[in-house]
Amino acid sequence: MLSPSEKKLEKLDPFYRPSASKLKTSAEIISEARNALRTVKTQRPFTPQEDQRKLFGPASSRTPENRPPSTFSLHASSFESSDSRPISGTRLSPLELKPKAPTPPSVELDHCLSLPRPPVDPAKMRRISSARARLFRAASQGPPLPAEKFPASNSQKMVESQETGRMGDSVMAVNGIHVAKSKTLGHVKRNHPLQLTYDGGIRETKEQDTLQGTTSSPSHLQSRGDKEKRCGRTSVSSGSWDLSRLDSKAVSKASPRERDTEIEVDEVFWNTRIVPLLRELEKEGNIESICAACTQLHLALEEGNLLGNKFQRRSVLLKTLYKLVDVGSDLLSLKLAKIILALKVSRKNLLNVCKLVFKISRNEKNDSLLQNDNILESLLEVLRREALQANTEAFLYCMGAIKFISGNPRFLNEMISRGAVEILMDLIKEINENTMKHGVWMPNVGHLLVQVTATLRNLVDSPLARMKLLSTSALPQLCTVIEQYMSDKDVCTNVARIFSKLTSYHDFCVALASCSRCYALFLNLINTYQKQQDLVIRVVFILGNLTAKSDPAREQLCRERGCMQTLLSLFHAFQRLDVPCAQTTAVRASSATITTTMATTTTTPSLPSEAEAVLIKLTRVLANLAIHPRVGPSLASDPHLVGLLVSTLESKSLDDCEELVINTTATINNLSFYQVKNSAIQNQKLYIAELLLKLLVSDNMDGVLEAVRVLGNLSQDHDVCNFIVQHNVHKFLIALLDAKHQDVCFSACGVLLNLTVEKDKRGLLKEGGGIKKLVDCLRDFGPTDWQLACLVCKTLWNFSENITNASSCFGDEDANKLLDLLSSFLDEEVALDGNFDQDLKSYHKLYWETEFKPVAQQLLSRLQRHHTFLEPLPSPSF
By 3-state DSSP, what share of the chain in percent is helix, strand and coil, each rounded to 5? 60, 0, 40
* Cα separation values, 339 from 201, 374, 380, Å: 24, 12, 15
Quick one: pLDDT at residue 848? 83
Instruction: Indicate the SS3 state at residue 391.
Output: coil
| Rounded-to-integer distance, Cα 189 and Cα 191, Å | 6
Handedness of CA 493, 549, 469, 406 (dihedral sign): negative
Lowest mean pLDDT among 128-142, 365-379, 766-780: 128-142
Quick one: pLDDT at residue 402? 93
Tens digit of pLDDT for each residue in 257-270? 444 455 677 788 88
Check if the beta carbon of residue 404 is closer than 8 Å to that of residue 361: yes
Main-chain dihedrals φ then ψ at residue 616, nearest 5 degrees: -60, -50
Torsion of CA 306, 309, 313, 316, to 10 degrees: 90
| Rounded-to-integer distance, Cα 278 and Cα 293, Å | 8
pLDDT band at 184; cut points 50, 70, 90? very low
pLDDT over 80 (residue 34): no
Instruction: Indicate the SS3 state at residue 163.
Output: coil
H or E stretch covering 204: strand 202-204
* Cα separation values, 302 from 298, 336, 343, Å: 6, 15, 10
pLDDT over 70 (residue 222): no
Average pLDDT over residues 82-109: 49
For residues 760 and 437, the model is more confident at: 760
Q: Is 568 exposed, middle or buried (0-12, 13-18, 19+ CB in 10 A)?
A: middle
Percent share of the chain, pLDDT over 70: 66
For residues 838 and 27, the model is more confident at: 838
Tens digit of pLDDT for each residue in 268-318? 888 888 888 888 888 877 888 888 888 999 998 888 888 876 777 888 888
E-strand spans in 677-766?
Answer: none
| Rounded-to-integer distance, Cα 816 and Cα 812, Å | 6
For residues 205 and 605, the model is more confident at: 605
pLDDT over 60 (residue 779): yes
Tally Cβ neighbours within 10 Å of residue 183: 12
pLDDT over 50 (residue 321): yes
What is the C-alpha radius of gyration for the chain, rounded to an integer number of angstroms?
42
What average pLDDT does the structure give for the chain? 74
Range with the largest mean pLDDT of 167-176, 344-353, 428-437, 623-632 = 623-632
H or E stretch covering 310: strand 310-311
Tens digit of pLDDT for each residue in 555-588? 999 999 999 999 999 999 999 988 544 344 343 3
Tens digit of pLDDT for each residue in 117-167? 555 454 444 444 444 334 333 333 443 333 333 344 444 333 333 333 333
Tens digit of pLDDT for each residue in 503-521? 999 999 999 998 889 999 9
pLDDT over 50 (residue 232): no
Average pLDDT over residues 178-185: 37
| Rounded-to-integer distance, Cα 594 and Cα 597, Å | 9
pLDDT over 70 (residue 403): yes
| Rounded-to-integer distance, Cα 750 and Cα 15, Å | 6
pLDDT band at 57; cut points 50, 70, 90? confident
Tens digit of pLDDT for each residue in 610-635? 899 999 999 999 999 999 999 999 99
Average pLDDT over residues 74-100: 57
Tens digit of pLDDT for each residue in 445-496? 889 999 999 999 999 999 999 999 988 889 999 999 999 999 999 999 999 9
pLDDT band at 86; cut points 50, 70, 90? very low
Tens digit of pLDDT for each residue in 816-858? 999 999 998 888 776 666 555 565 667 777 878 888 889 989 9
This prediction's pTM: 0.72
Quick one: pLDDT at residue 13? 40
DSSP sequence for 91-146: -PPPP---PPPPPPPPTTS-TTPPPPPPPPPHHHHHHTHHHHHHHHHHHHHSPPPP
Kindly give the pairing relationship between strand 202-204 and strand 194-196: antiparallel
| Rounded-to-integer distance, Cα 718 and Cα 692, Å | 17
For residues 643 and 365, the model is more confident at: 643
Which one, of 848, 787, 796, lies nearest residue 817 by Cα?
796
Q: Please enumerate in sequence order all residues whose Cβ is within 8 A of that of 436, keeping only pairs 6 or more positions apart, or say none.
A: 484
Please name the amino acid found at residue 176: G
Q: Is 755 exposed, middle or buried (0-12, 13-18, 19+ CB in 10 A)?
A: buried
Q: Is 477 exposed, middle or buried (0-12, 13-18, 19+ CB in 10 A)?
A: middle
Half-sphere exposure of 802 (CA within 13 A, CB side): 7
